Amino acid sequence: MTQDRPIEVVPHPEAVAILLSQHTGAICKPLVNKRDRVTVGQMIGKADAFISAPVHSPVAGIVKDIALQSHAVLGRELAVIIETDPQADTAILPACDHFKASFDESAWSAEQICDAVRNAGIVGMGGAGFPTPVKIEPNPKMPRDTLIINACECEPYITCDYRVMLEWTHQVIAGIKLARRVLGCKRVIIGIEDNKPRAAEVLREVIGPAGEIEVVIVKTKYPQGSERQLIRSLLGRTVPTGGIPPMIGLCVLNVQTCAAIAEGVVLQRPLTHRVVTIAGRAIAKPGNYYVPIGMAVGDLVQHCGGLTDPAARVILGGPMMGMAIADLSTPITKTSGALTFLTRQEVTEAKFQQRQTACIRCGRCLTVCPEHLNPTRIAHAVKAAKMDIAQDYYLTACIDCGCCSYVCPAKIELTGYIKTGKVLLARQKKTIPS
Ligand code: SF4
Ligand code: SF4
């Protein structure tokens, strides 16, 4: 639906809401007060903890409020709401034209790159939102031998990374080179699915014959884009359950994250905009849009010509891993790669929308789980609020792929229960506010 639609710049809306928690780790502390004037790119939320990332304003304007705002995962979360001042505001355009094939990363030291990435508030833009500096900074306890670039966009409907690879190729490669310089990895692999031959071709053209960055084609299948699955496909290595890739000498970065690294380091530009795929039969003008972070979903819907079906379901993300949202004031965050708009017919036709019945113990959910978990046991434990049992069944090892819900003949929303369980557990451990 959107793979052939070039990235289109969305004009800044009248107001944005910058959530202070749009990454893994500690929430930011606001640096501004009500009625303060802010400029484009100004840091408005400070990261105090090691695992956190600052947030910046994508527009110039006046702070209208610092208040609770809809958050797709956490329900409501604190946000800085900024009213755009059209007199002071300037349009921010993609920076791809600044990057050429001759890009030389040796002009920056590893320290300079790390500082720039930290100041720019860069986090994993593939969905997890893990602060990028923590991933790339040297760690003598966990040396990384291989950098993997996740170019698999395995979820249906989503094409934002595909367009970034096609249109911002030099910028992506520049970001990869900068990350490699910090990590000191001997090997760099771009893992891309076999349904994206054009992207693989342009990447290979820009890399050139030197072969210092490998482009490896993997099978198109879901959830190939999950880092654990991609690592297995590319290298046959397994990240320990509950562990992270650096434990086995790897660093995995998403394509748009690499583009953001290049922008943050070379242009000192913070992460204030991202490419979002707007797709689904219920939206008038699907496409790939360059959107200011903090723009409300409702404003984006208006920009895309409105809904074609008033009863559409709005999903922040793709149909497998996304979260259905009821409030169109929910803002786009650094990790929002897509918005999927389904028609009422599509939703009611989908078997998972039919009435839930009791588990028939068919075991299909166990068969499909890429992490070899027992989804039904975890879901039952969460339903009974037995979080200790849910943990015994490795609740936190679930990658939220949605495969178990998709195949369940009893239409049990297993992934929904598991996601709820993770939020409950995080609240118990006080890693997120209750
Ligand atoms: S969502 Fe279901 S299938 Fe996917 S990893 Fe979690 S438990 Fe396994
Ligand atoms: S797929 Fe559904 S019905 Fe089958 S065992 Fe899992 S939860 Fe039960």
Residue range 3-14, pLDDT digits in tens: 999 999 999 999
Whose alpha carbon is nearest atom 6 of ligand 2? Answer: 365
Give the binding-site residues of ligand 2, using a 6 Å CB cut-off.
359-365, 376, 407-410, 412, 414
Ligand nearest to the CA of 403: 1
Q: What is the pLDDT of residues 258-273, one digit of tens each?
A: 999 999 999 999 999 9
Q: What angle do CA 130, 198, 203 make, to 5 degrees?
A: 55
List all residues 6 or more positions away from 191 whose beta carbon is below 8 Å from its beta carbon: 148, 149, 150, 151, 152, 216, 218, 230, 233, 234
Please give the average per-residue pLDDT across 154-182, as a whole number: 97
Q: What angle do CA 297, 71, 50 make, to 5 degrees?
A: 120
pLDDT at 200 over 70: yes
Residue 107 in tokens: 């002009």
pLDDT at 348 over 80: no
- Ligand 2 pocket test, candidate residues 351, 361, 393, most atoms within 8 A of CB: 361
Instruction: State the pLDDT confidence band at 432, using cuts at 50, 70 and 90.
Output: low
**Which residue, among 148, 243, 149, has the nearest Cα to 199 in the 3D structure?**
149
Whose alpha carbon is nearest atom 6 of ligand 1? Answer: 398
**For position 433, what pLDDT does the model report?**
56
Please give the average per-residue pLDDT across 346-361, as a whole number: 78
Ligand nearest to the CA of 399: 1
**For position 430, what pLDDT does the model report?**
67
Residue 377 CA to ligand 2 center (angstroms) comes to 10
d(CA 342, CA 73): 20
Ligand nearest to the CA of 365: 2
Q: Which atom of ligand 1 is nearest to the CA of 399?
A: 5
Q: Of 71-75, 85-89, 185-189, 301-305, which range is least confident?
A: 71-75
Whose alpha carbon is nearest atom 8 of ligand 1? Answer: 369
**For position 415, what pLDDT does the model report?**
94
Residue 392 CA to ligand 1 center (angstroms) comes to 15
pLDDT at 86 over 80: yes
- Sheet-wide strand order for 75-84: 15-19, 75-84, 61-71, 37-38
**For position 72, what pLDDT does the model report?**
79
Residue 378 CA to ligand 2 center (angstroms) comes to 12
pLDDT at 164 over 90: yes
Q: What is the pLDDT of residues 301-346, one digit of tens each?
A: 999 999 998 878 999 999 999 989 999 999 999 999 999 999 988 8
d(CA 98, CA 273): 16
Whose alpha carbon is nearest atom 2 of ligand 1? Answer: 404
Does a cis peptide bond (omega within 30 degrees of 0) precede residue 223?
yes
Domains of the chain in start order, with CATH, are: 7-92+272-344 (3.10.20.600), 96-266 (3.40.50.11540), 352-428 (no CATH)
Cα 15 to the center of its chain, rounded Å: 23
**Which residue, among 93, 59, 74, has the nearest Cα to 330 in the 3D structure?**
74
d(CA 128, CA 372): 20
Instruction: State the pLDDT confidence band at 434, using cuts at 50, 70 and 90.
Output: low
What letters, b where the CB count within 10 A reaches 16 and e where it falls short, cover 27-65? bbebebeeebebebbbbbbebeeeebbbbbbbbbbbbee
Q: Which atom of ligand 1 is nearest to the CA of 405?
A: 2
Q: What pTM does this model have?
A: 0.93
Instruction: State the pLDDT confidence band at 391, using cuts at 50, 70 and 90.
Output: very high
Give the binding-site residues of ligand 1, using a 6 Å CB cut-off.
368-371, 373, 375, 398-404, 414-415, 418
List all residues 6 or more positions away from 384 whose beta carbon is below 8 Å from its beta carbon: none
Whose alpha carbon is nearest atom 4 of ligand 1? Answer: 401
d(CA 219, CA 165): 18
Instruction: State the pLDDT confidence band at 76, using cuts at 50, 70 and 90.
Output: confident
Instruction: State the pLDDT confidence band at 431, using cuts at 50, 70 and 90.
Output: low
pLDDT at 80 over 80: yes
Q: What is the pLDDT of residues 214-264, one digit of tens each?
A: 999 999 999 999 999 999 999 999 999 888 999 999 999 999 999 999 999
Residue 225 CA to ligand 2 center (angstroms) comes to 25
**For position 71, what pLDDT does the model report?**
86
Please give the average per-residue pLDDT across 199-210, as a whole number: 92
d(CA 217, CA 253): 17
Helix (H) or strand (E) holding 64: strand 61-71
**Which residue, among 130, 89, 116, 93, has the nearest Cα to 275 in the 3D structure?**
93
- Ligand 1 pocket test, candidate residues 222, 229, 404, most atoms within 8 A of CB: 404
Whose alpha carbon is nearest atom 4 of ligand 2? Answer: 362
Rounded-to-10 torsion of CA 189, 221, 336, 277: 100
Q: What angle do CA 123, 247, 386 make, to 5 degrees?
A: 80
Whole-Å CA distances, 196 to 213, 236, 291, 330: 18, 22, 24, 31
**For position 209, what pLDDT does the model report?**
80
d(CA 339, CA 157): 9
Residue 267 in tokens: 């242009």
Q: What is the identity of the amino acid at 168?
A: W
Ligand nearest to the CA of 413: 2
Coil, strand or helix at 185:
coil
d(CA 229, CA 161): 18
Share of the chain above pLDDT 70, in %: 98
Residue 399 CA to ligand 1 center (angstroms) comes to 6
Ligand nearest to the CA of 351: 2
**For position 23, what pLDDT does the model report?**
86
Query: Which residues, in sequence order, are bridge partners of residue 81?
Result: 17, 65
Mean pLDDT computed over every residue of the chain: 93
Instruction: State the pLDDT confidence band at 389, using cuts at 50, 70 and 90.
Output: very high
Rg (CA), the chain: 21
- Strand 187-193 vs strand 214-218: parallel, antiparallel, or unpaired? parallel
Whole-Å CA distances, 139 to 105, 134, 147, 183, 246: 21, 9, 14, 9, 9
Query: Which residues, in sequence order, are bridge partners of residue 46?
Result: 29
d(CA 368, CA 381): 20
- Ligand 2 pocket test, candidate residues 352, 383, 408, 417, most atoms within 8 A of CB: 408
